[in-house]
Amino acid sequence: MEVCCICKKEYRTLWTAPDGLWKKLNGGNEGGLICIGCFDRIARENGEVLYWECAEREYPLYPGKTKINSEK
């Protein structure tokens, strides 16, 4: 489980955003964890329209490294 640094709620969905978009919508910070709901809200407040794509199994943490989606 991850904990969103904005709403402080736990969330289970692993997701990723392009570095530039993440930094822009995260106050210039590269790190941190934000749930999809909060990130989507911030995007709308900044005039960004996001789309979400579902996938299974391997989560692309870094190039060449993956995290299996079922890991807690």
Identified binder of Zn ion from the candidate list 21, 36, 38, 43, rule CB under 5 A: 38
- Shortest approach of Zn ion to residue 42 CB, angstroms? 9
Of the candidates 59, 68, 71, the one whose C-alpha atom is nearest the C-alpha of residue 15 is 59
Q: Rounded to the nearest whole angstrom, what is the least distance from the CB of residue 14 to Zn ion in the complex? A: 14
Helix (H) or strand (E) holding 58: strand 58-62
Q: Which amino acid does the sequence have at 48?
A: E
Name which position in 2, 6, 24, 42 contacts Zn ion (CB under 5 A).
6
Contact 59, 66 (CB under 8 A): yes
The binding site for Zn ion (CB under 5 A) comprises 4, 6-7, 35, 38
